[in-house]
């Protein structure tokens, strides 16, 4: 039985399939984080309202920051995979095709980015991310502070939570601005 040789092209295609599978899994996971965040927010708000305990709202910021950071990290990895396929893997595979000339491998990886409405969609997505992961927990803290019962350790904790939420908001905006100016990766 003759052994079959593995070519560089086959290896690159296998790598492509592997990174696209990872990207697909990360996209599903990332997108579900928004639904999880909405469910947690609804549950905490309902519990706080039912118990008439605004102090329970202090539970929202850490949850939203963890979920928001996880969302942002996955979004960055999704983008990194797209960039790798467009700028590294695709061109290496295209060079292996004899007589390909100006052939663009995996054209969709770049083509969908030229949609004239893409910038608007990205702006709306940043606003949604900021609302879900930052504005909602900050609003919860404002309600807690406005209750007037804030004091001591819980008040100090809530201030630290506000700083963490502000830090996450700055990262969401930084990634979006870096993408817009070409100084970073553009969230997919």
Residue 74 lies in a domain: yes
Q: Which residues of 152-163 are buried (b: 16+ CB within 10 A; e: fewer)?
A: eeeeeebeebbe
pLDDT digits (tens, 9 = 90+) for 59-115: 999 999 999 999 999 999 998 898 899 889 988 888 887 776 666 788 788 777 788
**% of the chain beyond a pLDDT of 70:** 90
Residue 15 lies in a domain: yes
Residue 168 lies in a domain: yes
Q: From CA 50, how far away is CA 42, in angstroms rounded?
A: 12
Query: How many structural domains compose the chain?
Result: 1
**% of the chain beyond a pLDDT of 90:** 64
Residue 2 lies in a domain: no
pTM: 0.86
- Expressed as residue numbers, the domain containing 105 is 8-181
Place 186 in a pLDDT band, splitting at 50, 70 and 90.
very low
Residue 1 lies in a domain: no
Whether the CA torsion 94, 100, 104, 106 is positive or negative: it is negative
């Amino acid at each position: 039985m003759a052994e079959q040789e593995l070519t560089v092209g086959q290896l690159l295609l296998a790598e492509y399939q592997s990174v696209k599978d990872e990207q697909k899994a990360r996209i599903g996971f990332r997108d579900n984080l928004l639904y999880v965040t909405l469910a947690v927010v609804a549950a905490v708000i309902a519990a706080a309202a039912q118990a008439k305990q605004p102090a329970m709202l202090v539970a929202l910021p850490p949850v939203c920051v963890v979920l928001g950071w996880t969302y942002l990290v996955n979004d960055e990895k999704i983008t990194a995979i797209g960039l790798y396929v467009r700028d590294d893997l695709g061109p290496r595979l295209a060079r292996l095709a004899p007589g390909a000339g100006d052939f663009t491998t995996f054209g969709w990886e770049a083509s969908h980015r030229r949609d004239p409405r893409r910038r608007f969609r990205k702006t709306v997505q940043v606003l949604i991310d900021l609302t879900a992961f930052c504005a909602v927990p900050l609003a919860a803290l404002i309600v807690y502070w406005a209750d007037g019962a804030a004091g001591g350790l819980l008040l100090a904790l809530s201030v630290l939570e506000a700083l963490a939420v502000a830090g996450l908001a700055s990262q969401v905006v930084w990634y979006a601005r870096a993408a817009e100016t070409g100084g970073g990766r553009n969230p997919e």
